[in-house]
Structure 1
Amino acid sequence: IYLYDSLYYYEDTDNDTVFVIGKDYRCSPAYIRDLPNRITLKDRLDVAALLKDPADFSDKNSYSGIREDDKYVYAHHYHGVFSQEYISFISLYDKQTRSLIENINDKIENNWDGGMDIRLYPSCQDGSLFALLLQPYDMKETLTPEHFASRNIAHPEKAEALKKLVSTLKDEDNPVLMLITTK
């Protein structure tokens, strides 16, 4: 979000449009960006149609957003939010091969250091870098010795550093910033 000529502008990260918030506090499109190597809003809608799996979900299937980095488009699906049939998952679309890779749970297992699973929503994104805030209480509840024992950890030394961090956290501490890059 930025201020220019007494108006506030912001970029919606889920499409290619920059919006302006007018003096009457109404939001309207200001201009459409044309960024190299980025899919357009029309492409995003085409991808969303591809990612929807009609065999598993009814027309009540919804999306909380579509994001992309240099290699992939991430579509977060959810269904039945206020029911016992709630389902949430992520689809990955490979932009180079133009193919759907897989449907995975609403989180990606963190096998780097065995830490918190990665949820792309909500998060902030810049290119292939995602930032996610983790609450100390959640980290202490999740990152137990049993949790680490159940994981296939690629970098045990990173897991030890994470365990040390978790042991120092207090519930009232500020959130921990987790930075994620895609492979």
Structure 2
Amino acid sequence: MGQTIETVIEKRIQKTVRPLTHQDDDALYSLQRANQDFYDLFLDHHLTKREAVNDLDEKPMNSAAGQKHYLGIFDGETLVATLDLVVDYPLPQVAWIGQFMWRPQTVSSTTAKRWLAAVLETLRELETVQVQLLVLDRDVKAQKFWPALGFSAVQKTQTMVMEQPISATIYQLNMLR
């Protein structure tokens, strides 16, 4: 392909897309605070800045640093969405979406779905055959959002969130046409 995943996505959605770093901590914290309702599903307190930026440094077990892409989507200078994506994980030709979050005051769910469709098309070009993600059973919004994009619930599981077990479901999208 010769281009980075973020440059391909950027061309498709016509927004600035780049990897997030700790220089973006304040913007990342602001965007995630705008989604406190999500964090209320598993936190008994308001999201802290440290919790918000933790994913910048985390990578899944048995993955290499180059597999993880923590991307920010910007409208001008404003961070309006994030995508935590791990390619070739947990298996080759499988992509894992750790998180896709947008600023609800700025980005509609219709726009978010359009952006995610561009991400999925990019993954398809990279010969990804499946995309997987985890949805907390308490997250009613996500249970509607992901199936609208063609994802199906495939397996019930338990996950640890902030050191507590929470019921969740793995969703999957088969990319082969």
Question: Which protein is richer in helix relative to its size?
Answer: 2
Which fold has the larger relative contact order, with Cα–Cα distance below 8 Å and residues 6 or more apart in sequence? 2
TM-score norm. by structure 2 comes to: 0.28
* Larger Cα-atom Rg: 1
TM-score norm. by structure 1 comes to: 0.28
